[in-house]
Amino acid sequence: MNKWNTLLILLVILVTSFPASADKLVVVVNFDNPTVRLTKSQVIDIYMGKNIAFPDGTSATPVDGPKGSKQQFYKVLIRRNLSQVNAYWSRIRFTGRATPPFAKTENISVLSYVENNINGIGYLPKSMVTNKVKVVYEFD
């Protein structure tokens, strides 16, 4: 019985650790978008409202994912938690400079939005990438 318990624990560890590596976030755009690659600085510019455009000057429409992905994304992108991101956007939004990314409550909605909008840009677990979107930035 102990052997089975040990196996079960190992299985749980395996199952929970595998998605952790597979769920690394990547930034994606629509497959037909001419953008091939973005730098971290360009992703920050788009997501923090400094220059909401792709490198060729086309305007971008960023979308945020569900809370878990959003927390992870801003932590690795700018090392800030969500309340700090919200305080930042309050300064930008309520002075009429820019509007924050549209919020999606599920990763699948982010994927669907980017798949159907050539100007869309979102972040997803790498395992969810399809052939209708392309990865333009991967976190280290």
Q: Is 81 in the site for another protein (CB under 8 A)?
A: yes
Q: Choose, by CB under 8 A, the member of 45, 66, 109, 135 that binds another protein.
A: 45
Q: Is 76 in the site for another protein (CB under 8 A)?
A: no
Q: Is 23 in the site for another protein (CB under 8 A)?
A: no
Q: Choose, by CB under 8 A, the member of 59, 105, 127, 130 that binds another protein.
A: 59
Q: What single-letter amino acid sits at 64?
A: D
CB of 60 to another protein, least distance (A): 8
Looking at beta carbons only, is 67 or 127 nearer to another protein?
A: 67
Strand arrangement of the beta sheet that strand 133-138 belongs to: 102-103, 61-64, 120-125, 25-30, 133-138
SS3 annotation, the chain: CHHHHHHHHHHHHHHHHHHHHHCCEEEEEECCCCCCCCCHHHHHHHHCCCCCECCCCCECEEEECCHHHHHHHHHHHHCCCHHHHHHHHHHHHCCCCCCCCEECCCHHHHHHHHHHCCCEEEEEEHHHCCCCEEEEEECC
Looking at beta carbons only, is 22 or 87 nearer to another protein?
A: 87
Compute how many residues bind another protein; rule: CB under 8 A: 29
Q: Is 78 in the site for another protein (CB under 8 A)?
A: yes
CB of 131 to another protein, least distance (A): 28
Q: Is 27 in the site for another protein (CB under 8 A)?
A: no
Task: Give the footprint of another protein on this chain (CB under 8 A).
Answer: 41, 44-45, 48, 50-53, 57, 59, 78-88, 90-91, 93-97, 99
